[in-house]
Copies of this chain bind each other. A is one copy, B any other.
Amino acid sequence: MAGQIPTMALIVQKYGGTSVGNLDRIKNVAARVARCRAEGHQLVVVVSAMSGVTDGLIKLAKEIMPLPSEREMDVLLATGEQQTIALTAMALHALDVPAVSLTGAQAGILTDGVHTKAKIDNITPKKLHALLDAGNVVIVAGFQGETPDGQITTLGRGGSDLTAIALAAAIKADVCQIYTDVDGVYTADPRIVPAARKLEVISYDEMLELASLGAKVMQSRSVEFAKKFGVVFEVRSSLNDHPGTIVKEESKSMEAVVVRGVALDKNQAKVTLVGVPDKPGIAAHIFKALADATINVDMIVQNVSHGTGAPTTDLSFTVEKADLLKAQKVIEGLQSTISFREVIAAEKIGKISIVGVGMRGHSGVAAKMFEVLARDGVNIDMISTSEIKVSVVVDLAKAEPAMKALHAAFIG
């Protein structure tokens, strides 16, 4: 089974900023690594900056200028993880475990030159293998790499997860464990749905949908990378020894479950253009303008034309709440060219999604979802579907009870 660790395995473990947030926690990580090594495994340990360090450095930089050079931000931010690797290696030494730290560059992580959000192009794990073969635990700085001409780069949000998964692929690790402050991936946020339970296993695609739907466990890009290179990984807690959730390619048996999880995203806002002339090119015009303003649009729904004479339609889309004002301004700027009737913005909305690879083989999942919501008197504002997901936008006040009802109906 994917959850079991072979004997004498090559293991990549990743510990996030909270797990290495102070010296006591770093010592805890070292103790966990030492126990694992005592079982006969070889270990590569990826660590983030101690929580707060990166934010503190960003604050310093922004006090100098609001938009600091991205190259220099990378030079600055890379020091956070560099400090953690040294301290973690020392904490292992204190337990008599041989350990050597490597920066991203030293670990052979080559990236493109897009500072603050670089992509990993290639990993040359020669030095890393040599250190492992010599009996060391190797501690690697997450979130960072270097360009072929020796510039320091960082990988952007969730970058340390990406480092761990990319390293696991490069060294063909038997196991990749992402340690975090939750026990794994849940069927729903347990703070909202008390009946939520931890999943033993989830497919990459389901994890991707959940990641982009407000379940904050991991960034999509790390999961995409794992999927692309077939890296099976486990999300688990650094605070206990419970098994976590295995993330892997879907299998036949996984399709037996229609809905794997229910997610709620409260961070969206809705914009509706009322009375838009229903003719070709209008939608393209609108969304080009939003893209030019670097506003990320999530759901888009266009209702059927109504009325006689010149046909008009209503067009709704959602954006992140933080982008709402900017989006309204962009749309108002289009009034003269598009001549819609009015713009309505709504902030108090919730987007509820059900996700599961089993939907592919089951019809009527969306119908059942709408039925459950109708029974509870929840009005649906927008609907969007994909192969393995159905999302609806509802009134924010009804979102949490609706989520509980859907969890009860689909998962139990």
Contacts and interface: CB of A to CB of B under 8 A. Distances in A.
Interface of A: 23, 26-27, 57, 60-61, 63-65, 68-69, 71-73, 75-76, 78-79, 82-83, 85-87, 89-91, 93-94, 100-101, 103, 106, 127, 150, 152
A78 B106 CA distance: 14
A83 B68 CA distance: 14
B91 A64 contact: yes
A94 B65 CA distance: 6
A76 B72 contact: no
A69 B87 contact: no
Given A26-B64, A61-B86, A69-B93, 11 more contacts: A64-B94, A65-B93, A65-B94, A72-B87, A72-B90, A75-B85, A76-B82, A79-B82, A82-B82, A103-B152, A127-B150
Contact of A69 (B27, B60, B65, B89): B89
Contact of A64 (B79, B90, B100): B90
Contacts of A103: 75, 152
Contacts of A127: 150
Contacts of A100: 71
9 contacts: A26-B64, A64-B90, A64-B94, A65-B94, A71-B100, A72-B89, A76-B86, A76-B87, A103-B152
A57 B87 CA distance: 9
A61 B87 CA distance: 6
Contacts of A150: 106, 127
B76 A83 contact: yes
A90 B78 contact: no
A83 B56 CA distance: 12
Q: How many copies does the complex hold?
A: 2
A106 to B, nearest CB: 6
A182 to B, nearest CB: 27
Nearest to A71: B100
A231 to B, nearest CB: 27
Nearest to A101: B75
A15 to B, nearest CB: 16
Contacts of A82: 75-76, 78-79, 82
A72 B137 CA distance: 14
A93 B75 CA distance: 15
A93 B78 contact: no
A71 B72 CA distance: 25
Contacts of A79: 79, 82-83
A79 B141 CA distance: 13
A75 B64 contact: no
Of A63, A72, A76, the most chain B CB neighbours within 10 A belong to A72
A61 B23 CA distance: 9
A110 to B, nearest CB: 14
B93 A60 contact: no
Given A69-B93, A71-B100, A72-B101, A64 B78 contact: no
B71 A90 contact: no
B90 A27 contact: no
B90 A69 contact: yes
Nearest to A127: B150
A23 B27 CA distance: 33
B72 A86 contact: yes
Given A69-B90, A106-B150, A23 B64 contact: yes
Contacts of A152: 103
A90 B106 contact: no
Nearest to A95: B65
A381 B60 CA distance: 54
A200 to B, nearest CB: 36
Contacts of A60: 23, 87
A150 to B, nearest CB: 6
A89 B152 CA distance: 15
Nearest to A27: B64
